[in-house]
Chain A
């Protein structure tokens, strides 16, 4: 728990660089924040950004698979996260900014596991031309 607090404190200070190789605003809409709950179906622990996928069931029982983008490997690993941090089959609640193109894609801000653990936290907001 102490380690987790340390990690969160670190990110509160530095934040996760949102996107390292293109404009954030060209892909995501900061005015469209949303939250979903579902089951992790895949984790792509690869650069330039880690993607994970979540099956989300609506009130009628229909399942939709959502893709979520988070930080790059370097930042996540230096922050203490590893591939084992998020596993297929885990239940998560994800807060994210929605993709501008209307696809089932979001840039995750917070990812909360069933036990309340928060991972891949993004605390800092950048300007319109976020990224490096």
Chain B
């Protein structure tokens, strides 16, 4: 509880600063080492657009035939019904679907933690850098437990403890509660962070399902705060109008 209060206070401080947060100093365009924090860590802080990772709501960007399904994974996809999409009910998107939001995020970096503030549904994640083991015997959640470490210039994040009450994308790709997600974030230049997300879920995917993109700075909009309010539950009229829509097996 104490740590949650602390995080809320940190988040409040970030929002209070708003657009006054100092922009990272740009370095030589082609040097991956140009942007660092005073302690030498690569600097991931900033106001980033997630648009490069959107995939149009469907992670199967190369078609269903290229998805590394197991038999159970394909069956789970074919049996989903779009009208049952958890986020249609304003449930949290969960991890890693959060990364495919069209809305921006802010990364706050501390020595022992990286905190990501997402506009979509006003969600935050905390990635602990000073912990090597996941918390034991903790109930699975929508965003699980994230621990990270540096491998050279790359922040590697491992997330486990995820429940199976959310989908991987709007297209309805599924996962089990045994899923593990690995992220790799590398600051490659003044305006780029290479971002890789790996879905490890052997029951549904025979090999890790890997998606890559490049984070780009989100431009501030004059007259608006950087992160706007998004509460899905405020006026979710849509839900009463959703109709059954299952994938067409002939189109796979």
Name the distance in Å between B106's Cβ and chain A's nearest Cβ: 14
Question: Could you tell me the distance in whole angstroms from the C-beta of A104 to the nearest C-beta in chain B?
Answer: 11
> Do the beta carbons of A132 and B102 come within 8 Å of each other?
yes
Known contacts being A20-B101, A22-B88, is A47 close to B221, with CB within 8 Å? no
A121 within 8 A of B: no
Q: With a 10 A CB-CB cut-off, give which of B54, B58, B101, B231 has the most chain A CB atoms.
A: B58
| A70–B103 CA distance with the chains assembled, in angstroms | 16
Given contacts A22-B85, A78-B221, 5 further A-B contacts (CB under 8 A): A21-B90, A23-B172, A47-B229, A47-B230, A131-B170
Are A21 and B85 in touch, CB under 8 angstroms?
yes
Identity of the chain A residue whose Cβ is nearest the Cβ of B235 in the assembled complex:
A46
Nearest 3 Cβ contacts at the A-B interface: A22-B88, A23-B82, A26-B82
Cross-chain contact B234 with A72 (CB below 8 angstroms): no
Of A22, A44, A103, the most chain B CB neighbours within 10 A belong to: A22
> Are A48 and B232 within 8 A (Cβ)?
yes
B87 within 8 A of A: yes
Which B residues have a C-beta under 8 Å from some C-beta of A? Answer: 51, 54, 56-58, 82-83, 85, 87-88, 90, 93, 100-103, 119-120, 169-172, 221, 224, 228-232, 234-238, 241-245
- Given A22-B88, A126-B57, are A105 and B241 neighbors across the interface (CB < 8 Å)? yes
Q: How far is the CB of A41 from chain B (nearest CB, A)?
A: 15
Report yes or no: A20 in contact with B120, Cβ–Cβ below 8 A: yes
Give the Cβ gap from A16 to chain B, nearest Cβ, in Å.
Answer: 10
What residue in chain A is nearest B101 (Cβ atoms)?
A132
- Total count of chain A residues near the partner, CB < 8 A: 35
Asked if A123 is an interface residue, CB under 8 A from chain B, the answer is: no
**Measured between C-beta atoms, what is the minimum distance from B102 to chain A in Å?**
4
For the residues of A in contact with B, the DSSP-based class is: loop
Judge if A65 is at the interface, Cβ distance under 8 Å.
no
Distance between Cα atoms of A125 and B169 in the complex (Å)? 18
Q: Is A8 an interface residue (CB 8 A)?
A: no
- Provide the bound-state CA to CA distance between A51 and B232, in Å: 13
Do the beta carbons of A17 and B229 come within 8 Å of each other? no
Asked whether A31 is an interface residue with its Cβ less than 8 Å from the other chain, the reply is: no
The 15 sampled A-B contact pairs (Cβ below 8 Å) are A19-B238, A20-B103, A21-B88, A21-B232, A22-B87, A22-B88, A22-B242, A26-B242, A46-B235, A48-B236, A49-B238, A126-B57, A129-B56, A129-B57, A132-B100
